[in-house]
């Protein structure tokens, strides 16, 4: 059979009763929170959202795609083709019931990065101008949504 031993420095007890504490595990922050159902009755449920470390890693992965100045020569379709597998992978792993607000932040970050990339490509002096136009262009190019 298997022998199971706990590492004293890594293992700890977490008091999650009534949402007092939370813990990070496999890229998720796990905590109990109170919610109301459709008939306005209160209930407690486990909420899993991306941890701060995971959010930072997602932003770093996206930033890495846009970091090279040579990518300014690429077309919008090529950038979307490069970024889509990363977005789909993040969506498949982190999409949970309560994770949508955190994933919206990542989607907003992707839109900002595309806007800055497009404005540098077109030699515009403003950073976030044409955001609506860039949003339409990325949708036409087939950019996947991280929120599903």
Give per-residue pLDDT as tens, 50-85.
999 999 999 999 999 999 889 999 999 999 999 999
37: which residues sit within 8 A by CB, 6+ positions away? 43
What would the pLDDT profile of 5-34 be if each residue is shown by its tens digit?
888 888 888 877 777 888 888 999 988 888
The more confidently predicted of residues 91 and 148 is 91
Query: Per-residue pLDDT for 148 more than 70?
Result: no
Helix (H/G/I), strand (E/B), else coil: 146: coil
- Through-space distance between the first and last CA atoms of the chain, rounded to whole angstroms: 42
Of 33-42, 43-52, 116-125, the one with minimum mean pLDDT is: 33-42
Across 109-121, average pLDDT = 92
Q: Within 13 Å, how many C-alpha atoms sit on residue 128's CB side?
A: 6
pLDDT of residue 97: 84
Question: What is the spatial distance between Cα 35 and Cα 32, in angstroms, rounded to a whole number?
Answer: 10
As a whole number, mean pLDDT of residues 118-145 equals: 87
Residue carrying structure tokens 């919206």? 104
């Amino acid at each position: 059979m298997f022998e199971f031993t706990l590492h004293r420095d890594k293992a700890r007890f977490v008091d999650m009763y009534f949402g007092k504490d939370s813990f990070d595990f496999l890229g998720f922050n796990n905590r109990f929170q109170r919610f109301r159902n459709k008939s306005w009755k209160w209930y407690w449920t486990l909420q899993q959202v991306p941890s701060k470390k995971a959010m930072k890693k997602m932003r770093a992965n996206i930033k890495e795609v846009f970091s090279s100045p040579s990518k300014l020569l690429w077309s919008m379709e090529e950038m979307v083709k490069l970024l889509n597998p990363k977005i789909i992978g993040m969506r498949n792993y982190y999409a949970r019931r309560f994770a949508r607000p955190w994933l919206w932040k990542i989607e907003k970050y992707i839109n900002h990065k595309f806007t800055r990339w497009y404005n540098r490509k077109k030699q515009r002096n403003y950073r976030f101008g044409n955001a609506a136009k860039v949003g339409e262009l990325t949708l036409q190019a087939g950019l996947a949504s991280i929120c599903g």
